[in-house]
A = this chain, B = another copy of it.
């Protein structure tokens, strides 16, 4: 079977790494000729719109995405030739922060306060209703903290409006959460579901910095996350892996957003579960049996953003598995990740201590806080 992937970044790369040993072949479509997945298959250098008419993609058995902003219309058109999994509906919902929230609300998933903002008077009314601090975001095309402004007091309104006004926006109430977390589920076309354990996630300036799994949460909280994400994939009749990001506030969950694809918060599943999210995404796409999603010990994932430490220093950390994506270094760019695996929390703590000198001070401090909270 041949899998076409729209987008040739690290997610596509890890999908291919999981799929090649299962006998799958890969085609990637990406606008960049140096797309890092390219070495794992055939790379078609083209923009998203060209995907619809690309003969190489049309000859694939399944199509999937490593990027959530592929236009839903493109997926719709491709889907008339080749099964596209997950399908356009999930992308359509995830691409519009307002539509996403309306969908989540419609299936009973609790959400932070939010309001649509198209005009300046909308903004003032929304601030009036929701209060400050709040976050003003573009409804479309924002990711990794791009296209958003935090409003702490009224003086922040004008510069935020100057930066973002003119786009369709959404104001989201600032959630005074104790933790962020994420749950990844894989769903087969048959409706079969398997949940990965919840991950603690830690963001820095809107970009995922750390993930710890399994998150040390009550079974009631885990169950609540599962039922939210289950309702979501069922209403979307979703096939593949999906991640729902959530806030934990006073022991309750509030949904943040979801990603209709494999997700950074579940990269730890490569070493930390018997079947990685990448393998299970492909198993679902190909109508193959889903694999086990239980944890193997305790995992800590660290993103390398902008630069990678020296490989010999990284490999001196016990239990560390390195994933260098082979991308050219650029400030703010995700260049790789590492997963620290351990049999116990105390062993994980020792590995975390060993990796700390390799982190920038901000990440090291976030890691210390997380590890202190781990039981």
* A contacts, CB < 8 Å to B: 17, 20-23, 39-40, 271, 274, 283, 286-289, 291-292, 296-297, 308, 311-312, 315-316, 318-319, 321-324, 326, 336, 341
Q: Is the CB of A315 within 8 A of B292?
A: no
| Inter-chain contact A319/B274, CB cutoff 8 Å | yes
Q: CB < 8 Å: which of B311, B316, B319 contacts A22?
A: B311
User: Which residues from B are CB-within-8-Å of A286?
Assistant: 312
Instruction: State how many angstroms separate the Cβ of A312 from the closest Cβ of chain B.
Output: 5
Query: Given A20-B326, A323-B21: A316 and B289 within 8 A (CB)?
Result: yes
**Which residue on chain B has the smallest CB distance to residue A316?**
B289
Known contacts A17-B17, A40-B39, A319-B274; A312 and B326 CB within 8 A of each other = no
- Which residues of chain B come closer than 8 Å to A341, judged between CB atoms? 274
Instruction: Report Cα–Cα, A108/B65, bound state, in Å.
Output: 59
Chain B hits for A321, CB < 8 A: 21, 274
Distance A211 CA – B323 CA, assembled complex (angstroms): 28
CB distance from A300 to the nearest CB of B (A): 14
Q: How far is the CA of A237 from the CA of B128 in the complex (A)?
A: 75
Within the assembled complex, what's the spacing in Å between the Cα atoms of A114 and B341?
46
Q: How far is the CA of A311 from the CA of B282 in the complex (A)?
A: 12
Expressed in whole angstroms, the Cα–Cα distance for A316 and B292 within the complex equals 10
| Given A23-B324, A39-B40, A326-B20, also A315-B296 (CB < 8 A) | no
Residues of B near A39 (CB, < 8 A) are: 20, 40
Give the residue name and chain of the B residue nearest to A322 (CB): B22
Q: Give Cα A296–Cα B288 distance, bound, in whole angstroms.
A: 26
A319-B17 Cα distance, complex, nearest whole Å: 18
Given the interface pairs A17-B17, A312-B288, A312-B289, the reply to whether A326 lies near B23 with Cβ below 8 Å is: yes
Using known A-B contacts A20-B326, A23-B326, determine if residue A291 contacts B274 with beta carbons closer than 8 Å: no
Q: How far is the CA of A308 from the CA of B336 in the complex (A)?
A: 34
Known interface pairs A39-B40, A274-B341, A341-B274; A315-B21 also in contact (CB < 8 Å): no
Is B296 touching A22 in the complex (CB atoms < 8 A)?
A: no
Knowing that A22-B311, A22-B322, A23-B311 touch, tell me 13 more A-B residue pairs with CB under 8 angstroms.
Answer: A20-B39, A20-B324, A20-B326, A21-B321, A21-B336, A23-B308, A23-B324, A271-B274, A288-B311, A288-B312, A288-B315, A292-B318, A296-B296
Nearest B residue to A271 by beta-carbon distance?
B274
- Contact sample, A vs B, 16 pairs, CB 8 Å cutoff: A20-B324, A21-B321, A21-B322, A21-B336, A22-B315, A22-B324, A23-B322, A23-B324, A23-B326, A286-B312, A287-B312, A288-B311, A288-B312, A289-B315, A289-B316, A292-B318
Question: Which of chain B's residues have a CB closer than 8 A to the CB of A315?
Answer: 22, 283, 288-289, 291
Instruction: List 6 A-B pairs, minimum CB-CB distance, nearest first.
Output: A23-B324, A289-B316, A21-B323, A288-B312, A288-B315, A289-B315
Q: How far apart sit A370 and B289, CA to CA, in the bound complex (Å)?
A: 27
Chain B residues near A311 (CB-CB < 8 A):
22-23, 288
Q: Which B residues are CB-close (under 8 A) to A271? A: 274
Chain B residues contacting A297 (CB-CB under 8 Å) are: 296
Residues of B close to A21: CB separation below 8 A: 17, 321-324, 336
Complex CA distance for A323 and B18, rounded to whole angstroms: 10
Residue of B nearest to A23 (CB): B324
Most buried by B among A21, A274, A318: A21
**How far is A236 from B324 in the complex, measured between Cα atoms in Å?**
33
